[in-house]
Structure 1
Amino acid sequence: MDFSIEDIVEDLNDLDLAILHLLHAGNNDPVRGKVAFQKEVFLIADYIETIREQAGFIPHTLGPFSESAENGVRNLKSLGLVEEKYHEYHITPNGIAVLSKARSAFTDEQIEAIQGYKEFLNDLSRDEILLFFYVSYPDFTEKSAVYERVTRKRIPAAISLYNKEKVSLEKAAFLAGLPAEKFLDSECS
């Protein structure tokens, strides 16, 4: 059965639209893997209340996880709006067409924030992403399968985040679990 773009647009919820905006952000750059996808959607949900309610993030084996977001991207793939290649999520031309026809669910400021979250996380390693979330959102660590391993390597990961200019000196020191002066000493050695 074929669906028209208008039929698809009518059936999308705000979480679906947020996922499409995320994948469209940054010149349609793909989202690199499930961990990055979940954490980027988490930041969107942390900022936009309707997405927070629809996503329903819970603590999971790799930090914050939303079954609704997972089901949403799967549904968007089945509609031909998203494709997954080499563990990366891409928006398709049909996804772009649907997004351009969809009602404006978000303000310009919210769309800019979605773009910013993607820019922030999309080029980080899995351990850098997990460290950022484990330290910044400790309520989501209780079921983590890799918390101990990630936090054992927290200083090099925090240095990398700082050197990539992803976080301030204060945030990098916080992620490393060190006072700023000690962090600077470890960063220089």
Structure 2
Amino acid sequence: MIDDDLDQVDKLYLLLLHANGGDAVPGDLWIQKELFLVAKNMPKLEEALEFEAYLRGPFSETVEGIHDKLEVYGLVQRTRLGVALTPKGEDLVEDVYAEIPDRIRYLVEDIKDFANDLSRDELLVYVYYTYPEMTKNSMEKEGLEGKRKQVARHLYERGKVSLEKASELAGVPMSEFRGAIRA
């Protein structure tokens, strides 16, 4: 039985795809960043996934391996909408869902709800300027610098982040950021 071959990290990957009605995660970049954000709230998971600063910020080879394994089992697939559960994956995750503690389900749902509809730039600005230690090998950061304030403002206007968080992401004092919003 496939369920016996899945560990808790595999199941968490499935839970991410299942969260919020099973909407596809837009792509590998979002999978990596959403699982990174989940892991930042779960030290054992963070240790297991071993995220490293890479070309587009935090990256885990373990996450790639999990996807490949779940794809071989026929549980996940890449579609034109992103990464999603297959019908077989949906059936399996229903059983897995009950064994995941509520606090973890809510965390995964909150992060997917927050990140899934972010643009590529919004996702990277949020992750890069919240976890700057994960950008040391980034090939993207330089290109984002010029857009940083505009992207932070957009995140604030969409209600994705607080004024304080937006000013942090923009890299300016809150009073200056507040003034820029009013202009």
TM-score range, shorter chain: over 0.9
> After TM superposition, which residue ranges in structure 1, 4 or more long, deviate above 4 angstroms?
none
Partner letter of residue 14 of structure 2? L
Looking at structure 2, the residues matched to 67 and 104 of structure 1 have their Cα atoms a distance apart, in angstroms, of: 28
CA contact (8 A) 1:26 1:115 kept: yes
Partner letter of residue 89 of structure 2? G
Cα shift readout 1:101-151 (whole Å, capped 9, x = no counterpart): 338653101110000000000111111111111111011010000111112
* Partner of residue 167, structure 1: 161
* Partner of residue 178, structure 2: 184
1:41 equivalent to 2:35? Answer yes
CA contact (8 A) 1:161 1:172 kept: yes
Partner letter of residue 132 of structure 1? Y
- TM-score, length-scaled by structure 1: 0.92
* Partner of residue 93, structure 2: 99
Counterparts of residues 47-66 of structure 1 (less than 5 Å): 47-66=41-60
1:146 equivalent to 2:143? Answer no
What SS does the corresponding residue of 1:38 show, helix, strand or coil?
helix
Looking at structure 1, the residues matched to 182 and 36 of structure 2 have their Cα atoms a distance apart, in angstroms, of: 33
Identity %: 37
Partner letter of residue 47 of structure 2? E
Q: CA RMSD in A?
A: 1.4
Looking at structure 2, the residues matched to 183 and 107 of structure 1 have their Cα atoms a distance apart, in angstroms, of: 39
- TM-score, length-scaled by structure 2: 0.95
CA contact (8 A) 1:161 1:167 kept: yes
Looking at structure 2, the residues matched to 184 and 156 of structure 1 have their Cα atoms a distance apart, in angstroms, of: 13
Looking at structure 2, the residues matched to 60 and 87 of structure 1 have their Cα atoms a distance apart, in angstroms, of: 25
Q: Which structure 1 segments of 5+ residues have no match?
A: 1-6
Cα shift readout 1:128-176 (whole Å, capped 9, x = no counterpart): 1111111110110100001111122101000110011010000001111
Q: Which structure 2 segments of 5+ residues have no match?
A: none
Partner letter of residue 140 of structure 2? V
CA contact (8 A) 1:81 1:91 kept: yes
Partner letter of residue 19 of structure 2? A
CA contact (8 A) 1:9 1:101 kept: no
1:83 equivalent to 2:77? Answer yes
Partner letter of residue 158 of structure 2? K
